[in-house]
């Protein structure tokens, strides 16, 4: 019985494989994808990833439904139950709480539905290994912090006037994203580690985190720092993402202060701020390719094919079942290459 079944499966898989991937196969037309964004209020997730998930699903001829989890993990758990009841072919999930992946993986496993997690990597040990049909699409979080740090270090060295008090130490403020989010933790750590690794001392004057990575947070915290006792000591503003950087820029403008400032994501607005000399650099977080990889893997998984088959994606060699899309430095020299033509 087992033998016959696997023989039939093998034939089916060859047939499915023969219809290929380029331009959307006939098979993918029957695929329904249940997806979410952890919070539609997030600039990067709503502005870059969501539109490309919709566009690329349409290009592939697959049906996608994307719901807003409104920053609530409990809401996402319910949304998964609804997708399972609707019998979606595959789940593409952006965790709200990176430490709550196990619950979702268990639900998918029980329903035997493949699951692609994207953007927020599961932090619970053993979560990814607990189901053979779960994969991750995101980045190597540390890379964004290192690239941001390298840009800042090069500019710091090239601009001796940035060391306002001439003590050789970088007095910085940090706008951090969601505590516990691998991207936020790694960017916060590695951006300044680049300085200390190069033998340059740093001093953190203030750090404030926001689970929603929001412009409002950036504005409010920067405004408060600019009226604090250490206001005149600030030499560098480090932002875990562009959304918070935009808020900091508003606050700086309102106070009539100019400071070196860096973000991550390379949103269109960030490129305009670089053009206007209001931002010194950002790091491309390639949401377009992350969205495409998410759906390529999801569609393959729904068709019971090896997830990267017929695609340009490769699973990382570290056994994490992850596709990691590279980050790219965006500076006043090359930002034009990233602007939409
Ligand atoms: C990061 C991104 C942030 C925010 C966050 C949400 O990768 O840089 O701007 O969108 O994801 O999880
Ligand atoms: Ca200094």
Q: Are residues 148 and 135 in the same domain?
A: no
Kindly state if the Cβ of 195 falls inside 6 Å of ligand 1.
no
241: CA distance to ligand 2 center in Å?
Answer: 24
DSSP code of 98? T
Q: Are residues 280 and 305 in the same domain?
A: no
Q: Which residue has the tokens 């932090």?
A: 123
Domain edge (last residue) among 234, 268, 284: 284
Kindly state if the Cβ of 121 falls inside 6 Å of ligand 1.
no
What CATH number does the domain containing 261 carry? 3.40.50.2300
Kindly state if the Cβ of 120 falls inside 6 Å of ligand 1.
yes
* pLDDT for residue 318: 87
Dist CA 265 CA 67 (whole Å): 22
Q: Are residues 90 and 110 in the same domain?
A: yes
Q: Are residues 279 and 308 in the same domain?
A: no
Q: Is the pLDDT confidence value at 180 over 90?
A: yes
Domain boundaries, position 135 = 10-139+287-325
Q: Are residues 205 and 268 in the same domain?
A: yes
Is the full-model pTM beyond 0.75?
yes
Of the ligands numbered here, which is closest to the C-alpha atom of 96? 1
Q: How far is CA 38 from CA 73, 118, 142, 186, 221, in A?
A: 8, 10, 22, 20, 23
When divided into structural domains, the chain yields a total of 2
44: CA distance to ligand 1 center in Å?
Answer: 6
Q: Are residues 15 and 134 in the same domain?
A: yes
3: CA distance to ligand 1 center in Å?
Answer: 46
271: CA distance to ligand 2 center in Å?
Answer: 28
Q: Please, what is the average pLDDT of the chain?
A: 93
Kindly state if the Cβ of 175 falls inside 6 Å of ligand 1.
no
pLDDT tens profile 220-256: 999 999 999 999 999 999 999 999 999 999 999 999 9
pLDDT tens profile 8-39: 444 343 333 333 333 344 466 689 999 999 99
* Sheet containing strand 134-138, strands side by side: 63-68, 32-37, 90-93, 115-118, 134-138, 322-324
Q: Are residues 300 and 274 in the same domain?
A: no
Q: How far is CA 266 from CA 52, 165, 246, 248, 328, in A?
A: 16, 31, 12, 16, 9
Q: Which residues of 14-40 are buried (b: 16+ CB within 10 A; e: fewer)?
A: eebbeeebeebbebbeebbbbbbbbbe
Q: Are residues 181 and 113 in the same domain?
A: no
Does residue 2 form part of some domain? no
Does residue 338 form part of some domain? no
Q: Which residue's CA is minimally distant from atom 10 of ligand 1?
A: 44
Q: Is the pLDDT confidence value at 174 over 70?
A: yes
Kindly state if the Cβ of 293 falls inside 6 Å of ligand 1.
no
Kindly state if the Cβ of 213 falls inside 6 Å of ligand 1.
yes
pLDDT tens profile 265-280: 999 999 999 999 999 9
125: CA distance to ligand 2 center in Å?
Answer: 40
Does residue 1 form part of some domain? no
Q: Name the residue with higher pLDDT: 262 or 28.
A: 262
């Amino acid at each position: 019985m087992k033998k016959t079944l696997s023989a039939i499966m093998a034939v089916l898989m060859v047939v499915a494989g023969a219809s290929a991937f380029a331009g959307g196969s006939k098979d993918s037309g029957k695929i329904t994808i249940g997806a979410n964004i952890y919070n539609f209020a997030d600039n990067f997730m709503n502005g870059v990833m969501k539109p490309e998930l919709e566009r690329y699903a349409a290009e592939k001829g697959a049906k996608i439904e994307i719901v807003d989890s409104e920053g609530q993990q409990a809401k996402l758990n319910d949304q998964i139950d609804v997708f399972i009841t609707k019998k979606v072919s595959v789940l593409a999930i952006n965790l709200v709480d990176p430490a709550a992946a196990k619950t979702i993986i268990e639900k998918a496993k029980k329903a035997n539905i493949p699951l692609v997690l994207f953007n927020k990597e599961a932090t619970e040990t053993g979560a990814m290994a607990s189901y053979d049909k779960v994969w991750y699409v995101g980045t190597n979080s540390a890379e964004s912090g290192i690239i941001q740090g390298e840009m800042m270090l090069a500019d710091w060295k090239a601009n001796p006037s940035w060391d306002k008090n001439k003590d050789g130490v970088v007095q910085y403020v940090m706008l951090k994203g969601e505590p516990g989010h691998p991207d936020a933790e790694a960017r916060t750590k590695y951006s300044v580690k680049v300085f200390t690794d190069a033998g340059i001392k740093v001093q953190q004057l203030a750090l404030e985190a926001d689970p929603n990575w929001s412009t409002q947070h950036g504005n409010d915290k920067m405004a408060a720092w600019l009226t604090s006792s250490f206001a005149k000591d600030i030499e560098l503003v480090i932002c875990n993402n562009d959304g918070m950087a935009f808020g900091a820029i508003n606050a700086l403008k309102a106070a009539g202060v100019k400071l070196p400032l860096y973000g991550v994501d390379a949103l269109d607005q960030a490129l305009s701020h670089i053009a206007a000399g209001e931002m010194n650099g950002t790091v491309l977080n390639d949401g377009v390719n992350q969205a495409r990889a998410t759906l390529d893997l999801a569609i393959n998984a729904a068709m019971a094919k090896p997830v990267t088959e017929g695609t340009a994606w490769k699973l990382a060699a570290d056994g994490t079942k992850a596709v990691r899309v590279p980050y790219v430095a965006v500076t006043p020299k090359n930002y034009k290459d990233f602007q939409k033509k």
